[in-house]
Amino acid sequence: MATKAKYHSAFLKKKYKVREDNRCPICGRPRAFMRRFNMCRLCFRKFALEGEIPGVRKSSW
């Protein structure tokens, strides 16, 4: 229940802009957030492997 409440309150508009934290809009994960793609690393990996993020491909050498 506490996790659900924190997840819900994270998406509410904060009184001060400094209090806003980056959270993945897909899964709600607060850590490992990538600003460039606006998602966490787990969602980024999932979408990149499916080919849904343009310009991203798996590296190989």
**Does residue 30 belong to any structural domain of this protein?**
yes
**Does residue 60 belong to any structural domain of this protein?**
no
DSSP 20: -
Any known ligand binding at 27? yes
Print the domain residue range for 14: 4-50
**Does residue 58 belong to any structural domain of this protein?**
no
DSSP 53: S
Query: pLDDT tens digits for 11-56?
Result: 777 788 777 788 898 888 889 999 999 999 999 999 999 999 999 8
CB 44 within 8 A of CB 52: no
pLDDT band at 1 (very low <50, low <70, confident <90, very high): low
Three-state secondary structure call for residue 51: coil
**Does residue 61 belong to any structural domain of this protein?**
no
Any known ligand binding at 10? no
pLDDT of 38 reads 92
Any known ligand binding at 1? no
**Does residue 46 belong to any structural domain of this protein?**
yes
**Does residue 57 belong to any structural domain of this protein?**
no
DSSP 14: P
What CATH number is given to the structural domain containing 26? 4.10.830.10
Number of structural domains (the chain) is 1
* Nearest one of 13, 6, 5, 11 to 26, comparing CA atoms: 11
**Does residue 20 belong to any structural domain of this protein?**
yes
